[in-house]
Amino acid sequence: MSDRVSDGQQIHSANPGVQPLPTSKLTGDATEQDLESIRKRTSVYVYEAPVRLWHWTNALAIFILCITGWFIGNPFPSMQIGEATHQFIFGYTRFAHFAAGWVLTVGFIGRIYWAFFGNHHSKQLFYIPIFNKHWWAELLFEIRWYLFMESEPKKYVGHNPLAQLAMFMFMTVGLTFMIITGLALYAEGLGADSTLHAMFGWVLTLGGNSQIIHSVHHLGMWFIVIFMIIHIYVAIREDIMSRQSIVSTMISGHRTFKDDRAD
């Protein structure tokens, strides 16, 4: 067995006399280039299970929050199903909003916890390396890539600098803003003697009148909607045009690369 390896003809000896690469053909139309790419392809485990779980629960919560939030500000036409005692449509809408809001809040706290105990990439969401000159240079490169001024993007295991900046602004800052204003408005419903009011009631009077908090919370929703549009577009675009996997990475956790060239 050992002498077979040492003579360099085969990398393993499970089936002596069988060549491993040609037999790994999964479909009939695999070309020589495909086989070559299988040999070169590498993958890195980037997003651990808690990060992926957070991503998708967070996405679902945001989706529910946006829909119900829109209807809380602009209620659907009045419905006559029964007497008010037997009808709770607006109540359920608000319940869904508050429940999704709590899921998002608890999830976000869990995500912060994971930034401390997860891998290196799990921390990327929560900071911008403003003192790193290299980061700034790559940020400008990434902007040029999006302005069609670069023919080929760079490869990144985690977020590219532009994505990191966007994630920080929209998620870390945006979600924190929505959670704090949201909990303040929720505390308003719970009453002035509630614990949550003691914690977040100060937010309500920042603009003088809590109606202002309603308005900025509403604007915050649009901020998140804009993020969703950009995020989904860019994820799909990069999945197609970049040199690495994007969409499947948030499902499997593995980042795969389409070439083995250095940047």
Q: Where does this chain bind other proteins (CB under 8 A)? A: 73-80, 84-85, 87-91, 93, 146, 148, 151, 188, 191-193, 201-202, 205, 207-212, 214-216, 218-219, 221-223, 225-226, 229-230, 233, 237, 240-241
Question: Taking the complex as a whole, how short is the minimal distance between the CB of residue 253 and other proteins, in angstroms?
Answer: 27
In sequence order, what are the beta bridge partners of 45? 254
Cβ at position 173, least distance to other proteins in Å: 17
Residue whose CB is less far from other proteins, 200 or 257: 200
| Per-residue buried b or exposed e for 237-246, using 16+ beta carbons within 10 Å of the residue's own CB | ebeeebbbbb
Nearest distance in Å: CB 195, other proteins: 14
Q: Which is nearer to other proteins, 56 or 233 (CB)?
A: 233
User: 124 or 238, CB closer to other proteins?
Assistant: 238
Closest to 166 in 3D by CA, of 78, 233, 106, 84: 233
- Alpha carbon dihedral 26, 28, 29, 30, in 10-degree steps, equals 40
Beta carbon of residue 43, minimum distance to other proteins (angstroms, whole number): 24
Judge residue 77's burial from the number of C-beta atoms within 10 Å of its C-beta, 0-12 exposed, 13-18 middle, 19 or more buried.
Answer: exposed
Residue 193: DSSP 8-state: T
Q: Which is nearer to other proteins, 53 or 221 (CB)?
A: 221
